[in-house]
Amino acid sequence: MANVYFDHNSTTSLKPAVLEAMMPYMTNQHGNPTSQHSYGRNAREAIEQARRQVAQAVGAQANEVVFTASGTEANNFAITGIASNMEQAQILTSAIEHPCVSNPAKAMQYRGWQANSINVDAQCQLDLQDLQTKLATPTNLVSVMLANNETGAIQAVEKVVAMAKAQKAMVHTDAVQALGKIPVDFAALGAHAMTVSSHKIGGPLGAGALVLSKRVDIQPLLYGGGQEKGLRSGTENIAAIVGFGAACALATQDLSAFASHTAALRQHLEEGLVATKAVVFAQTADRLPNTSFFAFENIDGETLVTALDKLGFAVASGSACSSASSEPSHVLLAMGIDPDMARGAIRVSFNMDNTLAQVDDFLIALTQALRDLRQMTAVAA
């Protein structure tokens, strides 16, 4: 069992202070927020405080935050909910979106929409020229992520917003990977909707949010008792929402410390990778400081991940969220990477708990794993 965790873009451990904030709502504070008595009022106030915390962390107003059960849910809600209340036209998503953005966009094709994707270049940056060309077709919704989960490449969402608005299209951005790693400012971006998720920032599973500008007319995700201003009915997961709020406050407290600590680890890692002949993807792009995505010729990424796990290191092959399939990463394919090379990709993603000594140990383990795997291939040949 691995004991060094280098997979923080997949999920993070719950921060102790977050658990502490959640505990009352899993034990004695068990009120339903719609109840009139003091239990209900306390629960309601706890949710509103969490809403303010999330809003503050992302540069939004509290009444723009709609709680959901995950980032996946918020992305589905944004795409299908916004599109459903607009005239059918083109919906554009970048070629590197998480499937929980690209698949709902494709699903809108059954409701008369035309779904197309925007290209990226070899460094995983959105091709703005391609966006401009595709915007010539009547477009009502554009979704481009703020930072990619695999390469960490940060996208020019502000420019996307300006270009899309010139064509009167709405813009959604998936900021799930950006939150807690780089500054996220909903108001400054000017997007109409933005997704964030709790378990990526030291909060619990079971909470996410769609940040939604008041200008947007959206179809409710769930109909029922009218919770979340009627947009997502269902009794709220209070403990998870409270944890999400607490995690937001903690994760955005000192982003420069996160950037300097994790970027130093990544630099050390990537300097060490030179000797292993790794190809590092999107290395010259503006990237999340904690993320490194790389591959080796003639090495299968999943086999390498298993070998590293046995040596004590938890890393990801491609995107953990889509690792149920062994297809090469769609992100790397969109960047024009050869499919054989893409199959060999592994991702390391750090957080504040990781150390330079762990990176040194990892480089030793990686060298050993590569040697063993190459020897096995040579014997089999």
Nearer to ligand PLP, 69 or 115 (CB): 69
Which stretch, 64-72, 211-219, 273-281, 303-311, contacts ligand PLP (CB under 6 A)? Answer: 64-72
CA angle 126, 252, 48 (to 5 degrees): 105
Residue 9: CB minimum distance to ligand PLP, A = 6
What's the DSSP call for residue 278? P
Which stretch, 29-37, 38-46, 69-77, 244-252, contacts ligand PLP (CB under 6 A)? Answer: 69-77
Task: Please give the C-alpha separations between residue 207 and each of 50, 169, 203, 255, 376, in angstroms, as whole numbers.
Answer: 11, 28, 8, 22, 44
As a whole number of angstroms, the distance between CA 208 and CA 160 comes to 24
CA angle 63, 69, 73 (to 5 degrees): 90
Residue 276: CB minimum distance to ligand PLP, A = 26
- Assess 176 for contact with ligand PLP (CB under 6 A): yes
As a whole number of angstroms, the distance between CA 315 and CA 304 comes to 9
Nearer to ligand PLP, 42 or 93 (CB): 93
For the segment 284-303, give every residue that binds ligand PLP (CB under 6 A).
none
Residue that has been written with the tokens 């595709």 in this structure:
134
Q: Is 248 a catalytic residue?
A: no
For the segment 131-160, give every residue that binds ligand PLP (CB under 6 A).
145, 149
Contacts of 56 (CB under 8 A, 6+ apart): 248, 249, 252
Find the catalytic residue in 100, 124, 248, 321: 321
Question: Binding ligand PLP by CB under 6 A: which of 177, 213, 290, 354?
Answer: 177
Binding mask 111-130 for ligand PLP (x = CB under 6 A): --------------------
Residue closest to ligand PLP (Cβ)? 71
Binding mask 315-354 for ligand PLP (x = CB under 6 A): ------x---------------------------------
Residue 176: CB minimum distance to ligand PLP, A = 4
DSSP-based three-state secondary structure for 353:
coil
Question: Binding ligand PLP by CB under 6 A: which of 12, 42, 53, 72?
Answer: 72
User: Two tokens at 109?
Assistant: 């094709």
Residue type, 149: N
As a whole number of angstroms, the distance between CA 145 and CA 157 comes to 8
Residue 174: CB minimum distance to ligand PLP, A = 5
Nearer to ligand PLP, 70 or 140 (CB): 70
Helical spans, DSSP H, in the chain: 16-26, 38-58, 71-84, 99-107, 128-134, 157-166, 186-189, 238-251, 255-273, 301-310, 330-334, 339-342, 356-380
- Assess 197 for contact with ligand PLP (CB under 6 A): yes
Q: Give Cα 289 to chain centroid, integer Å.
A: 14
Question: Binding ligand PLP by CB under 6 A: which of 70, 125, 237, 252?
Answer: 70
Strand partners of residue 208: 68, 197
Which stretch, 66-74, 304-312, 337-345, 347-355, contacts ligand PLP (CB under 6 A)? Answer: 66-74
Residues that bind ligand PLP (CB under 6 A): 70-72, 75, 98, 100, 145, 149, 174, 176-177, 197, 199, 208, 321
Q: Annotated catalytic sites, by residue?
A: 321
